[in-house]
Structure 1
Amino acid sequence: MDNLTFRYNILLVEGLKITPQSSHLAFILLLIAYVFIMVANIGILFQISAEKSLHQPMHILYCNLPLSDVLGTTVVVPRLLKYIFIEPSERYITYVECVIQIFFAHLYGTTSHTVLMIMAFDRYVAICNPLRYPSIMTHSMVVKLSAAAWGVAIVLVGIMIGLTVRLSQCRYVIQNPFCDNASMFKLSCENVAINNIYGLTFTIVLLTSSLGSVAITYLRIAIVCFKSKNKATNSKAIKTCSTHLACYVIMMVSGFTIIFLHRFPELSDNRKLVTIIFHVVPPCLNPIIYGLQSKEIRQRIFQQFNRNKVNSK
């Protein structure tokens, strides 16, 4: 077969590197984390959709985050759980399944930034232009912001995947716990300079836009709070912004750790572990932080819990 068109239909995935003695513990911990992520994030989505009092721009925009977290975790964790009890030499995945996993895994990583960017814009308008907030953050604007967050991510990731699937392959082992773009195009013996350039440009543009927009937003908010003499307003601003900022910092620390460890090949095993953490820890912490900090959601959750408790007696 022509080497320029050759492609393996079945690939071998490295999966988790753990000892047989640790396999059961790893499976239990990962399963508990996955179940919690599903229950917590879907629970908040259901709570916001069911309660009309929570149909506010801030909460509706937040719905994009648990949706992204559920997507990013589901595309990675179930297959990792499956691989734990399968011999490394038997961890197969079809080419099409691998491409699908790459797309949604990178879509999760990208929307983690774009969704938090539109949430930062909402906080900026609410605090810096409170009188104009109802006229700016209309239903139409919320839909446009959400569509932009997902649309931009889909286009950017789609181009990246398109550049990878055009390549032929001369190897078939994905040297990562799950399929990702870099591991996929490294299977090719062709010139992958375009892939590297686009990947680097993609990362720089995304991180610069994310950090820049959030930094400018919070600088403007800080200036407004500093000039304001209303302690109640400032306290509310700090409380609502701290939720968003905490989610953002967790996501950025996880992401930057992966980028940092890429610079040290001898720490490849640590990097692979962090890539899994990136798909597990932020989705675990985001609903806890947002649920506990948001007074409206917290009250609805406690009311629902107490109602169920009374009905069970």
Structure 2
Amino acid sequence: MAARNRTEVTEFVLLGLSNWPEMQPVIFGTVLPMYLVAVMGNALLMIAALSDPKLQTPMYFLLSQLSFIDISLTTITVPQMLVHTLSVNRIISFNCCMLQLFFFMAVGSMEGHLLAAMAYDRYVAICDPLRYSAIISHRLCLRITLTSWVVVSLNSLLYSVLVTRLTFCGNQVTHFFCDITPLLKLSCTRPVVNEMLIFTEGVAVVVSPFFFILGSYARIGVAITHMQSVAALRKALSTCSSHILVVLLLYGSVICVYLRPSSSYNLDQERQVAIFYTVVTPMLNPLIYSLRNQEVKGALRRLFRKLCIPSNF
């Protein structure tokens, strides 16, 4: 078995979110509305941030990019899972599986980089407000976004190429999409190189934005402690609270799934956490940013009026 050539595996079988047939309609009826809410909510937020004159600032440009990432992340995985849920045929070709792995890892990593850029934006706004316009510009945000895309794409390409070089002793993936960890579990031998990359280069690309965010908020915390005005303190906390919550939702699930030894890997727990960061988090992000931001609420009301929808919808 260990000597089998990897090219013998031409397709994979995705076992889905649950192995119980009677649960499939329940899963479909639960996940589909959440997916639609996630796509529509992020699409509205992205359109409002890009089209409303009052939101033409670097912060809302980054927010629009985060909405695009959320739409992409959930669309890469969920539609296929919904089709497979009501289908007997759950096969995905080897090449399509590798493409899904590449795009999922690139888009998922990109979300962390965007959150780091947003943390830097908040740091400058609170700690150096007089120089905010001189430091933070649309050109800088665009440069950060493009550079991050290059970094995460190269990182994802490296992982995908290494996975294609593995020798697989089976083709049943205990997941609802092609993710790195369940694919590594199908390897005939322990994928030492892949695991070393996850805990070295993977930590550098995926987790380094998290440490950057922690550093930014440490500086923000110091600045807040020196604020004399209660109004300024309240405004600073309100500005950061939505971003902090989104960061906790993302990195809590990432650390739980990916940054742990393969010996402690649990298939059922992995699938449960995966549905959280592929559906629940993208659905909650636009709600988190819109419910606590008066400017976004106003932009959405104006967008609804343009679409001939009552503002109290």
Fold in common (TM above 0.5): yes
- Aligned-residue offset at 1:62: 1.3
1:218 aligns with 2:217: yes
Whether the aligned pair in 2 keeps the contact of 1:176 and 1:183 (CA below 8 Å) is yes
State the one-letter code of the partner of 1:46. I
2:273 — aligned with what? 274
Rate the CA distance shift 1:290–1:29 in 2: closer, same or farther, 3 A: same
- Cα distance in 1 for partners of 2:97, 2:127 equals 45
- Aligned-residue offset at 1:125: 1.0
- Aligned-residue offset at 1:100: 1.1
Which range moved further: 251-260 or 132-141?
251-260
Rate the CA distance shift 1:310–1:244 in 2: closer, same or farther, 3 A: closer
Q: Deviations over 1:200-258 (max 9, x none)?
A: 22343245423321111111111112112233322221111111101101112222332
State the one-letter code of the partner of 2:79. P
Q: Structure 1, unaligned stretches of length 5 or more?
A: none
The 5 A counterparts of 1:175-186 are 175-186=174-185
Rate the CA distance shift 1:296–1:244 in 2: closer, same or farther, 3 A: same
1:302 — aligned with what? 301
- Cα distance in 2 for partners of 1:250, 1:165 equals 31
2:81 — aligned with what? 80
- Aligned-residue offset at 1:162: 1.7
1:29 aligns with 2:13: no
- Cα distance in 2 for partners of 1:163, 1:91 equals 24
- Cα distance in 2 for partners of 1:226, 1:46 equals 36
State the one-letter code of the partner of 2:238. K
State the one-letter code of the partner of 2:56. H
- Cα distance in 2 for partners of 1:202, 1:14 equals 30
Count of matched residue positions in the alignment of Structure 1 and Structure 2: 308
1:148 aligns with 2:144: no
- Cα distance in 1 for partners of 2:190, 2:24 equals 38
Which range moved further: 180-189 or 284-293?
180-189
Alpha carbon RMSD of aligned pairs, Å? 2.4
Whether the aligned pair in 2 keeps the contact of 1:262 and 1:271 (CA below 8 Å) is no
- Cα distance in 1 for partners of 2:107, 2:200 equals 18
The 5 A counterparts of 1:57-72 are 57-72=58-73
1:249 — aligned with what? 248
- Cα distance in 2 for partners of 1:310, 1:173 equals 49
The 5 A counterparts of 1:1-313 are 3-4=4-5, 6-87=7-88, 90-189=89-188, 192-206=191-205, 208-259=207-258, 264-265=264-265, 267-305=266-304, 308-309=308-309
Q: Structure 2, unaligned stretches of length 5 or more?
A: none
Rate the CA distance shift 1:188–1:241 in 2: closer, same or farther, 3 A: same
- Cα distance in 2 for partners of 1:110, 1:140 equals 22
Rate the CA distance shift 1:261–1:297 in 2: closer, same or farther, 3 A: farther
State the one-letter code of the partner of 2:9. Y
- Cα distance in 2 for partners of 1:126, 1:168 equals 51
- Cα distance in 1 for partners of 2:275, 2:158 equals 24
State the one-letter code of the partner of 1:194. V
Whether the aligned pair in 2 keeps the contact of 1:254 and 1:274 (CA below 8 Å) is yes
Which range moved further: 37-46 or 107-116?
107-116
Q: Deviations over 1:57-81 (max 9, x none)?
A: 1000112211111111001101111
Which range moved further: 97-106 or 181-190?
181-190
Q: Deviations over 1:149-193 (max 9, x none)?
A: 322211211111121123343422222221112333443435621
Whether the aligned pair in 2 keeps the contact of 1:10 and 1:172 (CA below 8 Å) is yes
Q: Secondary structure at the match of 1:63?
A: helix
Which range moved further: 226-235 or 98-107?
226-235
Rate the CA distance shift 1:214–1:288 in 2: closer, same or farther, 3 A: same
- Cα distance in 1 for partners of 2:146, 2:236 equals 26
Q: Deviations over 1:260-295 (max 9, x none)?
A: 696545x42122221122111110110000111222
